[in-house]
Amino acid sequence: MATLTVFKFSTPDGAEKMLTKVQALQKAELIKIQDAAMVIWPIGKKSPKTQQLVNLAGIGAMQGAFWGMLFGLIFFVPFFGLAVGAAFGAIGAKMADYGISDEFIKKTRDQVTEGTSALFLMTTDAVQDKVIEELKGDQFELIASNLTKEQEEQLKAAFAVD
């Protein structure tokens, strides 16, 4: 099963820097990136810029739709009218089937703000201890994951993240 994890950075370029590290870990066969996307919210902009990063042959369109729906739920539904919000509510119910709860969406929306960035990773086959060791010391916050509560707490403890 793929794990969806969201990392927040206190700078607009933090997500891009972390992606470079995770891609190096993939080359070392320590993790497999199934797909990834970034949200970059420069200071002075009204809304964030989103970018899908991996377009694997055969699943690119499906994953693009996934990221589009997810980012729509997180960043744009609060600004739309009730009718559009209700339509996205049905999509949100489907997202819950994949471990993306209302809490996941709200937590991400509240924390990814102007002047920050976020990296959304869909991964499998992580050699967790080695990945954690390579990423320790980087400044980020784990803000959401579809891991179980216990797994997420263990990951936060490993990174010493509050």
Reported as a single tens digit per residue, the pLDDT across 19-67 is 999 999 999 999 998 888 888 999 999 888 888 775 544 444 445 566 6
Question: Residue 2 has which token pair?
Answer: 């793929």
> What is residue 73's predicted lDDT score, i.e. its pLDDT?
62
- Based on the structure, what is the number of domains in the chain? 1
> What is residue 65's predicted lDDT score, i.e. its pLDDT?
60
> What is residue 89's predicted lDDT score, i.e. its pLDDT?
52
The overall pTM is greater than 0.75: no
Would the pLDDT of 126 be above 50? yes
CA-wise closest residue to 67 among 14, 120, 7, 1 = 120
Distances (CA, A) of 34 to 24, 45, 120, 126: 14, 30, 11, 11
State how far Cα 156 lies from the chain centre: 15
Greater model confidence, 17 or 101: 17
Cα atoms found within 13 Å of the Cα of residue 99, Cβ hemisphere only: 14
> What is residue 10's predicted lDDT score, i.e. its pLDDT?
95
Could you tell me if residue 115 is left (phi over 0), alpha (psi between -120 and 50 degrees) or otherwise beta?
left
Asked if 15 and 112 count as a contact pair (C-beta separation under 8 A), the reply is no
Query: Could you list the residue range(s) of the whole structural domain that residue 74 is in?
Result: 3-159
